[in-house]
Amino acid sequence: MKLSIISPSCGAIVALLFAASLAHAADANGKWSWTSPGRNGGPDRTNTLTLKVEGTKLTGNVAAPGRDGKVNETAISDGKLDGDTVAFSVTREFNGNSFTAKYNGKVAADEITGKIETTRNGEAQSRDWKAKRVTDAK
């Protein structure tokens, strides 16, 4: 005697629902914003991230105020979206030196929460970042 808790047709439906949930990628398209502490106790700096998703490829740029207050835009590289996880790098030049920050985070509705990893003077550093989706005021 063979007992079956789930009929073959119910099993197929469960498998399809599971596959569909895995295939759904979070919506990372658009503009995102967050603040970071200013240098030497200065005012907080507002950063803006613009993302465009094509399949699993992520492109865009990060705009942040420089030391002179002028906003600098830098293209992201190595961008990818895997489900609800975003990852990309931003490389900036300063006084002839190259500085790369690696961003990763989880997209949940209108928020990205994650870590920014850098290396400074040979030491790995990590800090949290939390961006909110920028929506047009109505």
45 within some domain: yes
pLDDT value at residue 62: 96
Q: Secondary structure of the chain in the HEC alphabet?
A: CCCCCCCHHHHHHHHHHHHHHHHCCCCCCEEEEEEECCHHHCCCEEEEEEEEEECCEEEEEEEEECCCCCEEEEEEEEEEEECCEEEEEEEEEECCEEEEEEEEEEEECCEEEEEEEEEECCEEEEEEEEEEECCCCC
pLDDT value at residue 11: 53
Question: Domains in the chain: how many in total?
Answer: 1
115 within some domain: yes
7 within some domain: no
Residue 85 lies in domain: 26-133
Look-up: residue for tokens 């509705």?
A: 109
Buried b (16+ CB within 10 A) or exposed e, 95-116: eeeeeebbbbbebeeeebebeb
What does each C-alpha distance from 32 to 42, 88, 117, 130 come to in angstroms? 23, 14, 19, 9
pLDDT value at residue 77: 97
98 within some domain: yes
pLDDT value at residue 24: 59
pLDDT value at residue 97: 85
2 within some domain: no
The CATH number covering residue 108 comes to: 2.40.128.120
pLDDT value at residue 19: 44
Q: Tell me which residues of the chain have a pLDDT lower than 50.
A: 3-4, 6, 10, 14-22
